[in-house]
Structure 1
Amino acid sequence: MTDLTTLLEVGGPLAALGGGTAFTRAKFPAVYWSAVGGPISTARLLSSYTSVMEACGLTVAPSRLRVLAVKATTRREVRPVPPRRGIIRPTSTGLRIRLRLAPGQEPADVAASAERLRHAWGVHAVYVTTVKPGVVELRLVGYDVLRRVRMPRKTDAGFLKVPVALREDATPFVRDYRTVPHQLTLGATLSGKSMYLRHLITGLARQSVALVGIDCKRGVELAPFAARLSALATDPDEAAELLPVLVKEMEDRYDLIKARQGIAPDTPDEEITSDIWGLPESERPVPVVLFVDEVAELFLTATRKDEERRDEMVTQLIRLAQLGRAAGIYLEVCGQRFGAELGKGATMLRAQLTGRVCHRVNDEASAKMALGDIAPEAVSAACAIAPELPGLAVAGDTSGGWSRIRTPYLSLGDAAEICRESAHLMPDLPALKPFQPAIPVRPVATPALALLPHPATD
């Protein structure tokens, strides 16, 4: 009986502690990392740093001066020198540490050993970034941050910058239209492409930006945001009327820029500009972001008349993609597939779209359409996205860099409410007035009477 009581007194709390730790690790990984995982990984890093670096081949032979100093002061063995370690800075998702590389080393050497460092220090992933020549930063991620996305509180938000998703290294993925003016977003049904679009629209809705939509699925994707849209086309016929107006707006803005360039010779150099951002703020037109949902609907034709209309729309889209950046007009092109089989001009339009985001697709060819021409190694990562992870995508650009991202959940009702609250920020563009969508009036509920009236009787 005494042994049983002792077992219960000791084993009960231990079992409860172990069960609580396992539950916290599964359901609240950030809390587990801050309380348990972070201190353990920090202790591993501090105790095994030199031996791990030596095992990974990240050490160099000591200098002659160091050898002489060690031999003169001690009799211990002179060991190879690892990169100089900086201060370990803990975060809510992992650890950050800077390394000063030894002479003869390069950042690629550290990046090649990232997987070994991950196993040695017991973390989920290790990412290497170059801070400056000779200095790299190791970002140790303690758990899978894409399993349950929580956006950082502090993000690099600003005008025409939208933090839309979370990268696998726990940094925010910011859609910066000034840096990447046009983007192509691909994804199969229920892949999270619409969620990505909602975050973009709600992020821009809070800014002084004109939002224009082309949704040939009868507006089922973009119509809920009608309160904030300056123009909306819901079928190819309306799109064929809207695109020439945008091209004309772009040409008028170029005329404004040219007029500014033709100023007096004594004008300072800083007042001479080649885009709208060099114009004075009082003369600068508002930026325009064009969202094209299911772009394949613009390419599909049934008759010869439809082919003529298609060729005109594609030509206008290509002109906007080629010349729109300087005029402050940006494109967000979305679809399930986008390749040469859509018709003439598809490949040329895709070449103008700098940014690429590929969600889960139905075949490898679709992933190659999005990423094959900029980052071939990212195609396999896009094909490996599981259906039970909606919102997960591979983002890349024409520089060749790519990363896995995931968009947090945002309901359609919340996104529509944000657009309604931001309706007063809609800029006034007279050319787009005829295409402004009708805003449905929300019914007002009449209060129910507490007491039912009774007729008066004699």
Structure 2
Amino acid sequence: MLMVFALLVSLAFASYHPDDAVVLRSADWSEVVLNPQSAQADGPVQNVLGLLGAQLAEACVPGFIGYGVLLISGLLMVWGYAVFRHASLRRLLYPSLLTAFSAFILSCVVGWVHHTVDAPLRAWAGLVGIGTAGWMQNVFGEVGSFILLLLAGAVLLLLVVDHDIQRTVDRVIRAARRIGAGVSAAGAYIRDQWSRARAHAPEPKATSPASDPSSSASASGSPSASSPEPPSSPPAEESTSSPPPARTRPEDSGAQTPSVRRNDLFRPGRDPAPSATDDNTASPEPAPDSSARTSDADPPEDDAPKDIPDETTASTPAEESPATDSPPPSRPADENASSDEPAAPAPDEPPPDASDGPDDDVSMTIQEQVEEETTDEIERTAELPDDFEYEPPSLDLLDESVDTDPTINREELEENKRVLLDKLDMYNIEIEEINAVVGPTVTRYELTPAPGIKVSRIKSLEDDLAMAMAAPGIRMIAPIPGKSAVGVEIPNRNRELVRLRDVIGTRKFQDTDLKLPLPLGKNIEGEVHVGDLATMPHLLIAGATGSGKSVGLNSIITGLIYACHPANLRFVIIDPKKIELQQYTALETQFVAVPEDIDQTVITDIDEASGVLKSVEREMETRYDLLSDASVRNITGYNEKFQAGELDPTEGHRHMPYLVVVVDELADLMMAAGDDVEGPISRLAQMARAVGIHLILATQRPSVDVVTGVIKANFPSRIAFEVASRVDSRTILDQGGAEDLVGNGDMLFLSGSDLKRLQGPFVSVEEVEEVVDYVADQPGVTPYTLPSLQDAGHGPDETLGVEDTDEKFEEAARVIVRRQQGSVSLLQRKLAVGYTRAARIVDQLEEAGIVGPFNGTKARDVLVDDEQALDDLLHGEDADEADPEEA
């Protein structure tokens, strides 16, 4: 109806004509309904919807915001379509506000033109636009009002494009920085090329003194004779007749050598060569004459001492005279000695910056995220039961990601690269290449070490790198499986929010052949990761408070609802915390299975939880009997036989749905009823895979008393969100790493021996409720009931009239009667149960009349004399009938 109304009013607005106003003034509305022709005495209206359309158009077009009202009618059309498709209306609020604001701005702009140009634009601007523009011109003037309207239009455009003005500002700043960095890089390249060209260019004036020995000798000898200061360079004869000097003057070598070694360490492409430097400083009595210095030069150590005279000269520029700043004879000697190295800096230039050294020669490639193919429609390729009407939930019920094209902060990548290389270079670890893999949460820097570098050396620096980066959640992988590189994972400053729709709406999730696909999230490469619960076959989840564990559970359950048909999947949901999974209560007839004698859809009582687990265990045994009768090995073969009509329903055969048992807080169950819970969980984990029963256990306290060895041995697939300590990480993953995660869905997924870091999808409580409400509004199927608690051996003993009797009630009664001591501590020792359970059993014994009331510090009185009387009390008439037969 809303769409039809929007279409009609759009036609009325579009066919507005000013001449219809004359007809409307003379029209008598009391006669319009009875005699429409007489109401149009001044001529027919030109509106396609007649008098009613003309009146509506006159009120909304010139009387409101002009033709901008067509945007409002179009908006009504969109709302009607959303209601028709049962889509989320919350997502239309923001576009609706932008549309209304656009219509208002358009009306004001046309009104400004109407006043300025004096054009008849009443139908285009409307009363609102003309009045607002007139008021603005009176207050701000024509120019001021135009600037304000232009600014409002620009803000509107930014809101439409980016949804956030700050994001646009950041984008402009990043673009300006990129342009500035490009200009700086171009300038540096030009300066470098110019310096190289000048260094290799012939210098006639500089080479002429070197060609004349007498002039060079006089030039080099005069400063030394007139001044006690050492010359800045050796004589010209030494430069031309021998290799470059390998020693500085004796009085300068001891003070300048350490600083030279530090500067030389950070120079790009330079080998530290400690042996060469040690030889230079180990001479106890350096020769004072120049001939000794010349003969002491060593060709194999040619690289190390080349720069020492230059660095020494550069470190004491105050002692040099302007005439000897750059003597001509020294340059040809340096150029002849090493033509492939850049010229040494002049004494009045600062020494090269150490921070620019390590990362100049190391290239870094940036690997962007993988773009998954998406779809808006949910396809069902699985064969569904006949005569079952079910419409799967639409993807429109889930929120879309705001930023679908994440940008890469190259400045952050370059900064992290520089810090990593600086820290590694301090320990003489050379890196040949870096590959940066940018993920939604972290960026993995894949470092390729130079030949001869041990991986253990890099691994030992994990704590030092974490301190240098000054960021939480840094994790090192040494080496990366399948690659000859070491990985360093560093959290991004601006993390990408991965929504559940980003995973479910991909072809990888929709077109999969997996039986129970789980939307686990995205890996560092940005690739969607989908797991199969049917092959895992069980899943153990652990994470501290606030790490995203509950959101991960909701994502898994919602993903299974999207992927599976109600006839093929049922949940058994146990929520001891009573608040996390209560929204699934409405799916009782669609996706939930409970015993017939349980009133709760989502199990919250701990005593009932242990009974439900035993009921699921009994269901497993029943299914194995059916598979044995059908001579098949698993649930898939059984259902295929049943669909083909090869199994007789009258013999108990039926279609078997997959059964997924979800426990939100395993620690609460283990603390309250550890023995009653661990046994069924262990049996289900060991045997239930073949019959389609799978477990998902979650806990926020992954200690060894909760995740016992028996449980962990049968859960090869595990998810670890952020945990508090390395001990907890080892408990859940058998290795560290989870303590270094950054929370909010950042997780490690262990499948067998393969460990992957993923970013789990986010789904809000509102989204889950919308999906649940949509499914619950559809007609349900026949409820799938589990065996009753009585059949599972967990029901109350009605003979005694005591409800919720413990399964060890009879054994405890016999212990009490034999010992004639009603003590809680006695039951703790004999039955190996906790104090809480033992005290509860004693209360039940009191209610059954076996022991007396509480007696202070003394033990309770035992009211039954022997076991024969106990049998009569426990079994009533059955025990009386059994006695004659035994006799």
TM bucket, shorter chain? 0.5 to 0.7
Residues 279-318 of structure 1 mapped to structure 2, 5 A cutoff: 279-281=638-640, 283=642, 285-301=656-672, 310-318=674-682
| Residue 756 (structure 2) aligned to one of 366, 380, 402 | 402
Q: CA deviation at 1:190?
A: 2.2
Matched, 1:148 2:501: no
| Residue 381 (structure 1) aligned to one of 733, 740, 762 | 740
Matched, 1:341 2:705: yes
In structure 2, relative to structure 1, the CA distance for the partners of 1:334 and 1:380 (3 Å cut) is closer
- Take 1:213 and 1:148, find their aligned partners in 2: how far apart are those partners? 28
In structure 2, relative to structure 1, the CA distance for the partners of 1:252 and 1:30 (3 Å cut) is farther
- The equivalent residue for 2:692 is 328
The code of the aligned residue for 1:220 comes to I
The code of the aligned residue for 1:401 comes to L
Residues 16-27 of structure 1 mapped to structure 2, 5 A cutoff: 27=167
In structure 2, relative to structure 1, the CA distance for the partners of 1:375 and 1:299 (3 Å cut) is closer
| Residue 747 (structure 2) aligned to one of 393, 403, 408 | 393
Percent of counterpart pairs with the same letter? 25
- Take 2:703 and 2:682, find their aligned partners in 1: how far apart are those partners? 15
RMSD: 5.6
Higher relative contact order (CA 8 A, sep 6+): 1
| Residue 771 (structure 2) aligned to one of 418, 438, 442 | 418
- The equivalent residue for 2:574 is 214
SS at structure 2 position matched to 1:230: coil
The code of the aligned residue for 1:354 comes to P
In structure 2, relative to structure 1, the CA distance for the partners of 1:134 and 1:321 (3 Å cut) is closer
- The equivalent residue for 1:189 is 545
User: After superposition, what is the alpha-carbon deviation per residue over 1:99-131, rounded to whole angstroms, capped at 9, x for unaligned?
Assistant: xxxxxxxxx9xxx9xxxxxxxxxxxx9x99xxx
- Take 1:145 and 1:282, find their aligned partners in 2: how far apart are those partners? 53
The code of the aligned residue for 1:350 comes to K
The code of the aligned residue for 1:287 comes to Y
- Take 2:571 and 2:624, find their aligned partners in 1: how far apart are those partners? 20
- Take 1:214 and 1:233, find their aligned partners in 2: how far apart are those partners? 5
Q: CA deviation at 1:392?
A: 2.2
Q: Is the 8 A contact 2:544 2:700 kept in 1?
A: yes
In structure 2, relative to structure 1, the CA distance for the partners of 1:429 and 1:224 (3 Å cut) is same
Q: CA deviation at 1:202?
A: 1.0
Residues 40-439 of structure 1 mapped to structure 2, 5 A cutoff: 146-149=495-498, 152=502, 154-157=506-509, 158=512, 159=514, 160-208=516-564, 209-217=569-577, 219-228=578-587, 229-231=591-593, 232-261=602-631, 274-281=633-640, 283=642, 285-301=656-672, 310-342=674-706, 346-361=708-723, 363-364=724-725, 368-372=727-731, 374=733, 376-382=735-741, 385=742, 389-403=743-757, 405-423=758-776, 424=778, 428=782, 430-432=784-786
- Take 1:278 and 1:29, find their aligned partners in 2: how far apart are those partners? 60
TM-score, with structure 2 as normaliser: 0.32
- Take 2:720 and 2:605, find their aligned partners in 1: how far apart are those partners? 25
Q: Is the 8 A contact 2:615 2:787 kept in 1?
A: no
- The equivalent residue for 2:394 is none
Q: CA deviation at 1:371?
A: 4.2
User: After superposition, what is the alpha-carbon deviation per residue over 1:180-228, rounded to whole angstroms, capped at 9, x for unaligned?
Assistant: 22111112222211111111111112243211101112x2111111122
In structure 2, relative to structure 1, the CA distance for the partners of 1:146 and 1:394 (3 Å cut) is farther
The code of the aligned residue for 1:233 comes to I
Q: Is the 8 A contact 1:338 1:346 kept in 2?
A: no
User: After superposition, what is the alpha-carbon deviation per residue over 1:77-111, rounded to whole angstroms, capped at 9, x for unaligned?
Assistant: xxxxxxxxxxx997567899xxxxxxxxxxx9xxx
- Take 1:187 and 1:248, find their aligned partners in 2: how far apart are those partners? 31
Q: CA deviation at 1:322?
A: 1.0
The code of the aligned residue for 1:234 comes to T
In structure 2, relative to structure 1, the CA distance for the partners of 1:135 and 1:192 (3 Å cut) is closer
In structure 2, relative to structure 1, the CA distance for the partners of 1:430 and 1:143 (3 Å cut) is closer
User: After superposition, what is the alpha-carbon deviation per residue over 1:271-302, rounded to whole angstroms, capped at 9, x for unaligned?
Assistant: xxx2112334363511111110111111113x
In structure 2, relative to structure 1, the CA distance for the partners of 1:392 and 1:134 (3 Å cut) is closer
Give 5+ residue unaligned stretches, structure 1. Answer: 1-22, 45-53, 56-87, 97-107, 113-124, 263-273, 302-306, 436-458
- Take 2:687 and 2:738, find their aligned partners in 1: how far apart are those partners? 29
Q: Is the 8 A contact 1:141 1:170 kept in 2?
A: no
Q: Is the 8 A contact 1:162 1:174 kept in 2?
A: yes
Tell which deviates more after alignment, 394-403 or 189-198.
394-403
In structure 2, relative to structure 1, the CA distance for the partners of 1:288 and 1:410 (3 Å cut) is same
Q: Is the 8 A contact 2:664 2:698 kept in 1?
A: yes
Give 5+ residue unaligned stretches, structure 2. Answer: 1-162, 186-268, 271-365, 370-405, 409-435, 438-454, 460-473, 594-601, 643-654, 790-887
Q: CA deviation at 1:418?
A: 0.7
In structure 2, relative to structure 1, the CA distance for the partners of 1:89 and 1:396 (3 Å cut) is closer
Q: Is the 8 A contact 2:702 2:732 kept in 1?
A: no
SS at structure 2 position matched to 1:258: helix
SS at structure 2 position matched to 1:300: helix
- Is the helix fraction higher in 1 or 2? 2
